[in-house]
Amino acid sequence: MKIKTSLTRFVDEKEIIRGKTLESLMKKYSFVSTIFLLLFNRLPKKNEEAMFNALFVSAIDHGPGTSSAMNARISASVGNSVHASLAAGILGFGNRHGMAVEDAMNFFSEHIDHADIPTKLRELKAQNIKVPGYGHKVFTHTDPRSTTLFSIAKKQKIFGTYCVFAQSIHKELHTFSSKPLPLNIDGAIAAILLDMNIPSMLGNTIFLIGRIPGLLAHIYEERLNDVGIRRLEDRDIEYM
């Protein structure tokens, strides 16, 4: 089996990552900078590092009620290892939870030059097709994570055409939606990444990098509390 890679190689007992020794990365660069180097084969500019740091922090956790955190905790509660529980948590993500960044990036890219976006949005509404990046279970009017990310993007001079477009869709949706649809974290991350010229294929990757520490914290807490096997109570089950 052959694997082609430009990521990591070993020369004279030194680990070389994207042309830099692991030792130099450990001494000189942050975790965020090194992630950026791994993904893009270059170190980030200062504003890119600051923006990526904010993106990772914004996604770091969203409480024990999410399907990913519940999966991780349930797995840990039955005595599984950390890595098995983490895998269970990651499998709890899907198009309805956490994995909408790539879809939102594709939607923004495909429609930013649309001649009549209001009409397009109404057509999607009539077809019962949801626009990715809008709506949230907890934040009914404004997602504070999104507003903070946009504020940081403006400060770092990253806020651009796609961020403006994402906000314009938010305003338009409110003119005919039956319920408030906040521009959520997926939509904000998507717009910011596009303004940073990041490929949409990496959208969900960025979210996952940010969220994994949160899942690991849930697993640690579950193991620490050791309340026993988690399962549904009979009162929570409706037999048909």
Q: How far is CA 146 from CA 134, 141, 205, 216, in A?
A: 11, 12, 18, 24
For domain 62-232, the CATH class is mainly alpha
Side-by-side strand order, sheet with 14-17: 8-11, 14-17, 20-21
pLDDT confidence of residue 141: 76
Question: Nearest Cα to 207, choosing from 183, 182, 186, 184?
Answer: 186
Angle of the 46-58 helix axis to the 31-40 helix axis, nearest 10: 100
CB 100 within 8 A of CB 211: no
pLDDT confidence of residue 162: 98
Residues of the chain with confidence (pLDDT) below 70: none
pTM: 0.94
CB 103 within 8 A of CB 134: no
pLDDT confidence of residue 185: 94
- DSSP, collapsed to helix, strand or coil, labels residue 15 as strand
- Rounded to whole angstroms, how far apart are CA atoms 53 and 176? 35
In the chain, domain spans: 1-44, 62-232
- Rounded to whole angstroms, how far apart are CA atoms 91 and 80? 15
pLDDT confidence of residue 115: 81
pLDDT confidence of residue 110: 95
Considering just the CA atoms, what is the radius of gyration of the chain in Å? 21
Q: Residue ranges of the alpha helices (H) in 100-182?
A: 101-111, 117-126, 144-155, 161-173
